[in-house]
């Protein structure tokens, strides 16, 4: 059986502080350049999914996480969620006690905390991931 799939795998992390703030990054590059999004990105070839989430979070915001602190939120894979190509994203949640200092890095122009009840418009389908992570 031959496969002709061209599907990319990504990870995103919903970081929630004190049940009231969520950590977002401002995208430096297209698509959605200048829009706010969850910290995340593409899984590298030989990388486990939680490790990828922790790497992307650190690269884009400076926040460090450990695997045991991540909890699974869901999988998002609508065919047109990414205008570049078919992407399936695994979303994790990281809960911390209070906000910490963050700084945009890698392909994030900025990183900042936002009130969960007053979020800007989010790139991709990230608003759905934030909604599903609130429990």
Q: Which residues are catalytic?
A: 110
**Residue 7 token pair:** 């599907």
Q: Which residues are CB-neighbours of 37 under 8 A, at least 6 positions away?
A: 12, 24, 25, 26, 27, 122, 123, 124, 126
pLDDT digits (tens, 9 = 90+) for 1-32: 788 889 999 999 999 999 899 999 999 999 99
Give pLDDT, residue 2: 84
pTM (2 decimals)? 0.95
Q: Give all domains of the chain, ordered by start, each with its CATH number.
A: 13-109+121-133 (3.90.79.10)
């Amino acid at each position: 059986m031959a496969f002709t799939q061209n599907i990319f795998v990504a990870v995103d992390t919903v970081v929630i502080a004190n049940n009231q703030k969520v950590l977002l990054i401002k995208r430096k590059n297209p698509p959605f350049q200048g829009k706010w999004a969850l910290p995340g990105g593409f899984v590298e070839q030989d990388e486990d999914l939680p490790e990828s989430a922790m790497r992307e979070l650190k690269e884009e915001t400076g926040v460090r996480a450990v695997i045991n602190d991540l909890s699974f939120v869901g999988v998002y894979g609508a065919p047109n969620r990414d205008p570049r190509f078919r992407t399936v994203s695994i979303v994790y949640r990281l809960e911390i006690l209070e906000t910490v200092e963050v700084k945009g890095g890698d392909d994030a122009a900025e990183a900042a905390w936002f009130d969960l009840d007053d979020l800007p418009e989010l790139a991709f389908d990230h608003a759905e991931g934030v909604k599903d992570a609130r429990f």
